[in-house]
Amino acid sequence: MKITFWGATDEVTGSMTFLDFEQTRIMVDSGLAQGTDEVEKINLLQLPFEASTIHAVFITHAHLDHSGYLPRLIKKGFRGQIFCTPATAKLMRIILTDSASLMDESFYSSKDVVTTLQLVKTVEWEEKININDSTFHFQPAGHILGASSLIIKHSNKKIVFSGDLGRHDDPLFLTPVECPEADLIIMESTYGGKCRQGNIDKELASFLIKISREERVGIVASFAVARAQMLLTLIHDFFQRHPEEKVKVYIDSPMMKEANQVYKQYAHLTTRPHDLYNALDEIEPIDYLRQWDSIKKKKGPLIIISSSGMLTGGRIFRHLQNWQHDAGAILFLPGYQGVGTPGRAMIEGNRTLKNQDKDSATWSGEVLTSEAFSSHADQSELIKWLTSKNQATRVFLLHGETASKLALKEKLQERKFSVEIPERGKTLEL
């Protein structure tokens, strides 16, 4: 049995790992590397194996950095099965369709997405999948709707891929199921160097009260899938408890609108299905140009939630441009801002942004940031997930900035784990 590390080795995004058994080659996650132009060049690298030699792909959750390479894999000749949970499949359709609309067709097209979706086979958590002499199953990982860890049994060995792990006090999801006893664990480390600061309820309440009482415009940068649905549920809950503070809330993202429907369909998988359903059912999307023409002339109190979460694209730019001279307006960045992204530049003091068409906006309003809203487990939660049933197990850290990986490695080594940070292309015989 061999493992080959490829994606999310030197960066946070682009998860992709290969396992070779005697008769089977599988791929765990097939994500796009996202961020700076330099990082995105990784997507053009030749894979270590021909796509046609891969028997199956397991997708831990729908985010683009875990599923976005799939149509490219199809274009290169993959025709095996793609396994994921039902909710992941629904969200993946939205995410991949959107991705194809932004791609150069030579990389992949909407036709490749259609073929990709035809190869998807959905499985429930804990449902066993047998491929030759190996057994696979997913277990809940929190994080976002449908997200999973993957457990693999081969011969007398057990291998666990954490996927992206959710926080233990997530507003919508249960604590991730603990890592089972295993011989080898491949683990994310996005927040491996941090213990989460801040309080979601207090920070959101402060923002909403500012908008309401000071009659300001609030523009919220949000990922269309997961972050938006959490925010909308929490905002709805706050207004239910404090009706005197209620203001008009719009969403401006077709992708967000579609993701809302999937979250409503699978609301039963969350810890507060009624709140979630009601929040998403009553929200008003900005759908038409005429509606935008009306909204852009409005004054506060008003909240617009738009994508993207790190200001890398999407419709949020038109709101930043429209209200850029309003010193009372607030840009709220509720979540991690990746290195090299416009969102990171904004919180570091650069107030001028450019979109893909090179139009610029110089923001003169307030900027609020918070990492309290992250859907990732922090350092203490990662350690707890791992150590509950494992001692001195071999661990490989992926999916984190170098400092995060090193910090988590140190903590795990103190607990006698054997910890490695693999390089891209490294193959190990297990």
Per-residue pLDDT at 335: 82
Per-residue pLDDT at 329: 97
Domain boundaries, the chain: 2-194+375-429, 200-370
Interval 287-303: pLDDT, tens:
888 888 889 989 999 99
- Report the largest interatomic distance among the alpha carbons of the chain, rounded to a whole angstrom: 66
* Residues 244 and 205: beta-carbon distance below 8 Å: no
When mean pLDDT is compared across 38-42, 109-113, 173-177, 269-273, the lowest value belongs to: 38-42
- H or E stretch including 19? strand 16-20
Distance CA(56)–CA(281), nearest Å, equals 37
Going by DSSP bridges, is the β-strand pair 25-28/330-334 parallel, antiparallel, or unpaired? unpaired
Q: Output helix, strand, coil percentages for the chain, rounded to the nearest 5.
A: 35, 20, 45
Percentage of the chain beyond pLDDT 90 is: 86
Interval 11-20: pLDDT, tens:
889 999 999 9
Interval 43-90: pLDDT, tens:
999 999 999 999 999 999 999 999 999 999 999 999 999 999 999 999
pTM: 0.95
| Angle at 140 (CA atoms; ends 135, 146), nearest 5 degrees | 100
Question: Does residue 338 carry a pLDDT above 80?
Answer: no
Per-residue pLDDT at 301: 97
Please state at what angle helix 273-282 crosses helix 227-241, rounded to 10 degrees: 90
Interval 254-312: pLDDT, tens:
999 999 999 999 999 999 999 999 999 999 899 888 888 889 989 999 999 999 898 98
pLDDT, average across residues 369-396? 92
C-alpha atoms less than 13 angstroms from C-alpha of 358 in its C-beta half-sphere? 0
Same fold for the pair 2-194+375-429 and 200-370 = no
Average pLDDT taken over every residue of the chain: 94
CATH code of the region 2-194+375-429: 3.60.15.10
Question: Does residue 227 carry a pLDDT above 80?
Answer: yes
Fold of 200-370: Rossmann fold (3.40.50)
Beta-bridge partner residues of 285: 251
- H or E stretch including 40? helix 37-40
Interval 116-155: pLDDT, tens:
999 999 999 999 999 999 999 999 999 999 999 999 999 9
On the 0-12 / 13-18 / 19+ scale of CB atoms within 10 A, 81 is middle
